[in-house]
Amino acid sequence: MIKKALTAPVRFGIVSPGKWAANLIESVSDSEALKLAGVFSRDPQKASTFANKYGGDVYASYEGMLSESSIEAVLLPTPHFLHHSQAMAAMRAGKHVFVEKPMANTVEEAVEMHQYSQEHNLVLGVGQQLRRTGAARMSKAMIHNGELGEIILFRAALGANLLPQYSAGDWELDPEKIPGGPLDNLAIHYVDLMQYLVGPVRQVSGLITDRMSPTDLPSAACANLYFKNGAIGSLVTHQISAYVSELSIYGSAGVLHFRRAGQELWFQEVVDTVEAKKNPPVLRQLEIHGPMPHSTALREELEDFAKCIRKGGQPEVGGAEGITALRVIRAIMESNTRGNTVLIDNKAYT
């Protein structure tokens, strides 16, 4: 009986069953570590359709789901401005929480969530899955093994034509509900990935424009980053132009190009400057082994979350990592407002 309890799948409920929720559920559809047990949406028909396809009981209210003793955890692929209140309500009900990025809209909210989870022995996972991809693991190993030499520079770009998808009144156009726009929706992934590769960002300077947005919502941003280990980087993000997803990692012995959120990884040789001016760059595509960003990396982060619930420990991407990424994003915004460089408090959260 004890063995069964230890190995039984974690029964969880999910809120706001939209497209991304479906991606999460499909990634663990055959997993022995998790079992969908409940669905809640403000739209009962949407909840019923989702439950009919993926399983689980439909709940008429979030409070009703949280009161169900057999549900151990809650997944929150919900609008950003709801993350803090929904996560706190779940943890106060004794549930473990997996919340999508950004973990909250303010650093203060994120810290409260993390501290509560620690104080009450609850697992808090955050959906920043790019570091789990096979391309990210390979990049980390190559850096560690010295194959790139000394890392001196990052160049990151992440953007998509999202603004035309939104309608008047959508929360995605409300700067109160998504303060950073593409910084929150997109760039936070690469902020987490860069810090995974070389450590924390120490200071930033940033510029933001809302010129293409129908509200005060940022439509594009760029930032300079200075890492604690001495590397520097640039970050651009937007939601008004063509799709781009690339992180280039420049080392003294070579360059890695992490593309399409980790679906491709290319190595660029360092060649003689005269030769480089005459000929195209020498690029070699590397074979990637391991999780992919929109499927198996999602499975890995959710199974890591379930493992921590069953066996203890902290997820690889938990509250501490969520705070660290969010702190950089908000520092970029603060720098834009103040017009100067912002130092980041690198306080460790354990």
Per-residue pLDDT of the chain (350 residues; tens, 9 = 90+): 333 444 799 999 999 999 999 999 999 999 999 999 999 999 999 999 999 999 999 999 999 999 999 999 999 999 999 999 999 999 999 999 999 999 999 999 999 999 999 999 999 999 999 999 999 999 999 999 999 999 999 999 999 999 999 999 999 999 999 999 999 999 999 999 999 999 999 999 999 999 999 999 999 999 999 999 999 999 999 999 999 999 999 999 999 999 999 999 999 999 888 887 888 888 999 999 999 999 999 999 999 999 999 999 999 999 999 999 999 999 999 999 999 999 998 776 55
Domain coordinates of the chain in residue numbers?
2-129, 131-295+326-343
What fold is seen in the domain 2-129? Rossmann fold (3.40.50)
- pTM equals 0.95
SS (H, E, C) the chain: CHHHHHHCCEEEEEECCCHHHHHHHHHCCCCCCEEEEEEECCCHHHHHHHHHHHCCEECCCHHHHHHCCCCCEEEECCCHHHHHHHHHHHHHCCCEEEEECCCCCCHHHHHHHHHHHHHCCCCEEEECCHHHCHHHHHHHHHHHCCCCCCEEEEEEEEECCCHHHCCCCCHHHCCCCCCCCHHHHHHHHHHHHHHHHHCCEEEEEEEEECCCCCCCCCCEEEEEEEECCCCEEEEEEECCCCCEEEEEEEECCEEEEEEHHHCEEEEEECCCHHHHHHCCCCEEECCCCCCCCCCHHHHHHHHHHHHHHHHCCCCCCEHHHHHHHHHHHHHHHHHHHHCCCEECCCCCCC
User: Looking at the domain covering 131-295+326-343, what would its CATH class be?
Assistant: alpha beta
